[in-house]
Every structure is written in C-alpha cells, then in structure tokens.
Chain A
Amino acid sequence: MTMSLEDELTTAAVNGNSAEVEDLLRRGAQVNGLNRFGRTALQVMMMGSTPVARLLLTHGANPNVADSSTGLTPLHDAARTGFLDTVRLLVEFNANPQAVDNANCRPVDLARKYGNEDVVNFLDSLENSQ
C-alpha cells in the first residue's frame, strides 16, 4: 500500500519527527491536508513535540480544526495532556481558547480535570487579560 504525502506527514508528526516533517513540507505535502483517517498533522502530532507544532503552525496549519467525532481541537488535546509550551504556541497562532467540544468543555476545563495546573493558570490568565 502506498501512502500519500499527507499520510506521511501525519506519521512524521505523530512521531515527533521534526526533520521529517520539514522535509515533507518542502516536498509539497499540504500542511492542512487530511490523512486517510480524515485528520490533519496538527490534530495528530505528538503533543509534547513543540518543534513539530511550531513547524506546522509557521507553515499555516489551521489550529482550529475540530475532531470529527468528538469536537476536540488541538488546544483541547494539548491542554488535556498538559504540554504548556505547545498550549502557548497554539494560542500564539490563534487557537481559540473558548472552543468547546461535543461535551461542551473548553480546553481549560480539560486541563483542570487532568490536574495540569500550569496550563490552567496560563489559560485563566488569558481570560483575565481580556
């Protein structure tokens, strides 16, 4: 079975392989293209890999795509898994902190539920500064 460039891109992103992500983007992989599961690279990336997140976002990855089954955005996933650097970066690239999933939860709600205090504080501080 041959993989499309977008399948390869999501596989590189899910493995946190930034060199490979960069190479695939250079070879013409669409940063917002869907893999065969209907997901973009930013949706499936290794959430702890801030370098991969940065590469994708600077190449124009849409940070506000919601998961087709659950309504979760990459910011929800980064907040739930607790990777503050990735959370900050997503927000810097205009991810919506008020997005709600199908259960009506915002990223900060998930961060709180999973005990990621630093992420809660950061997302709260955004609200207070508005």
Chain B
Amino acid sequence: MAHATSLQYEPVAEIGGGAYGTVYKARDIESGQFVALKSVRVQTDQNGLPLSTVREVALLRRLEQFDHPNVVRLMDVCATQRSDQETKVTLVFEHVDQDLKTYLERAPTAGLSPGHIKDLMRQLLCGLAFLHSNRVIHRDLKPENILVTSKGQVKLADFGLARIYSCHMALTPVVVTLWYRPPEVLLQSSYATPVDMWSTGCIFAEMFRRKPLFRGESEVDQLGKIFEVIGLAPEEEWPTDVTLSRKNFPPVLPQPITDFVPEINEQGAKLLQEMLTFDPFKRISALNALEHPYFKEEEKLTQTKS
C-alpha cells in the first residue's frame, strides 16, 4: 500500500465529490478498462496511518479474497503522503458502466418482468448477505450504488467505506438522500445490518413502481411518509434513547402495501413487508430473505441482458 496511482490510473472525469474526498472515473492504462478511484484524506501522526484505517482497509482486502460475484472488485489500494499531517488513501475499484437507476429508466414502458425483478433481488441479497456475514454494513444502499453489468450481473459499490470516512473526515455538510434511510437512522438511534435491509425493501418496491417509495424532504417528513404506509409504530417499539417523540406523528394505521406496489405478487408483498418493518430487531435478514417462499416459486425468466 505504498505506490503512486498517478501512472497506471489516469482520471477521465469526476463522478462525485463527497464530504471525505472525490470519486473519479479513471482508465487503467495497462488493461484499457475503466476503474473507479475513491480517495479519502486521513489525518496522520508520527505513527503513520491511524490503526482504524489500516484495519478497515485490511478488512476490505480480506473480503476481496472471496471474489464474490455481487460486489465490485477492489483492485488496488494506494497511499500518498500529502504532508506530515495528511495522507491520501486511494481505493481502486472495478468500474461498472451502468447503475440500477439508469437500468430502471431504460426498462421498457411496461416495466421489468416479475422474473427479472426476482433475479435482481436475489443477486442484491446475495451481495448483502456476504457483506453482513463479514460484519460490513453498507449504510448507503440506493439505486446509484447498485451496479448492473451488461450481462445483468448485480454488483454492490460504495460499501465498507463509511467507517473510514466517518472516523476521519472533516465534516462538511453534504446533501445525502433520505429516501432509503430506515426509521432507526432517521431517529438517530442505532446502526446495524438491518439498516441495509430497509433500504433493500425501498429498492424492491421501486423496481415495480419505477419511482421511489418514500420521497421525504427532511428527516421528520421522511418518517411521516413511512408511517403513512406502514402505520405509526407502537409505543413499545419506539426507541427510548431518541429526542424525537412519537407524539409528533399522527396515529395513522398501516395500509396494504399492494396499494403502493400494485404489481407485486402475494409472496413478494409478504417479503417486502418483512423488510419494511419498523423495529430493526424484527426486520428480516438478508440470509432469511433468500430463504423466503418468494424465491422458491419460479417465474419465467425473460431476457436479463443489457
């Protein structure tokens, strides 16, 4: 982890700039392929990189050994010292030239077939089950971070970095989407693997609807929109350690999920409800979701390519 990125990887465009650094699309001059470069600025002292960063990077590299088909490859890690106090750590990922957002926009007007949605969901859950079994939480699952190759292979991107970022970034306010955030994150209560299962539920619904399920404009508005569908959570499920009181929300009742996702079948609706469960402890896990009857009934799989 000590050589320069500048020679082999040539940036061609800026993809995004977060609070922590910048993401570039770059070309690997040797292979001709595109890569995604993500750099994080980390504070250093006389001992070099902080132990937590070294650990996180080591974890990502260990994950890489499994060569999981549903997460993007981590191809390289480079560190460049910028000053006595700052080092730039650059992660080089395989680049995939399509995300789920684009994929859904490109789908025929009739939408994706049920079999096709099932295939995407199975792959997404496989990737998540893999990350979760290695104690990696994605935390920022959304259609832009779910990549789909031209052969229809789903690959999760942008995982496992949240902790590196949150430890070291000089916090600058950035606009992040709230639409895929679970109640416990909106309430600032807890963050664990169920976080990703809520986001997966939102994305599952979006595959049918082709527009987001909950489009809130603030944390409170987002919670309100969630309750309009799943009903106001019971008092005993409301986290005790939060500032936002349950009394701020009208006592709405749960609505049938099929009112919002009309094309979903019966087992799909059941699975979706298990994902969109308020209490993170009662929410279905990725592994259990893969065992759900929804995945047992086979649907005719129509074309899954580009």
User: Who on chain B is nearest to A39 by CB?
Assistant: B12
In the complex, the answer to whether A15 meets B15 with C-beta atoms within 8 Å is yes
Q: A11-B14, A48-B150 are in contact. Are A83 and B306 (CB under 8 A)?
A: yes
Partner of B29, one of A18, A70, A83: A70
Report how many residues on chain A are interfacial, defined by Cβ distance under 8 Å: 36
Q: Which residues of A contact B25 (CB under 8 A)?
A: 14, 44
Chain B interface bracket (under 10, 10 to 19, 20 to 34, 35 or more): 20 to 34
In the complex, the answer to whether B33 meets A48 with C-beta atoms within 8 Å is no
Is B105 on the interface with A (CB-CB < 8 A)? yes
In the complex, the answer to whether B97 meets A83 with C-beta atoms within 8 Å is yes
Cβ contacts A87-110/B at 8 Å (1 or 0 each): 000000000000001010000001
In the complex, the answer to whether B305 meets A118 with C-beta atoms within 8 Å is yes
Cβ contacts A4-47/B at 8 Å (1 or 0 each): 00010011011110100000000000000001010100011011
Q: Which residues of A contact B29 (CB under 8 A)?
A: 69-70
Is B270 on the interface with A (CB-CB < 8 A)? no
Complex CA–CA separation, A103 to B27 (angstroms): 15
Is B166 on the interface with A (CB-CB < 8 A)? no
Partner of A81, one of B13, B97, B105, B144: B97
CB distance from A115 to the nearest CB of B (A): 8
In the complex, the answer to whether B98 meets A48 with C-beta atoms within 8 Å is yes
Q: Which residues of B contact A77 (CB under 8 A)?
A: 34, 97
Q: Which residues of B contact A70 (CB under 8 A)?
A: 27, 29, 32
Q: A47-B98, A51-B105 are in contact. Are A80 and B32 (CB under 8 A)?
A: yes
Is B5 on the interface with A (CB-CB < 8 A)? no
Q: Which residues of B contact A13 (CB under 8 A)?
A: 13
Cβ contacts A49-93/B at 8 Å (1 or 0 each): 111000000000000000101101000110011111100000000
Complex CA–CA separation, A35 to B306 (angstroms): 28
In the complex, the answer to whether B32 meets A7 with C-beta atoms within 8 Å is no
Is B134 on the interface with A (CB-CB < 8 A)? no
In the complex, the answer to whether A82 meets B149 with C-beta atoms within 8 Å is yes
In the complex, the answer to whether A44 meets B12 with C-beta atoms within 8 Å is yes
Is B196 on the interface with A (CB-CB < 8 A)? no
Q: Which residues of B contact A80 (CB under 8 A)?
A: 32-33
User: Who on chain B is nearest to A76 by CB?
Assistant: B32
Cβ contacts B133-163/A at 8 Å (1 or 0 each): 0000000000010001111000000000000
Q: Which residues of A contact B279 (CB under 8 A)?
A: none
What are 19 inter-chain pairs, A to B, with CB distance below 8 A? A11-B13, A11-B16, A14-B13, A15-B16, A16-B101, A16-B102, A35-B13, A37-B11, A46-B102, A47-B98, A48-B98, A48-B102, A48-B306, A49-B106, A72-B27, A81-B150, A83-B150, A84-B305, A84-B306
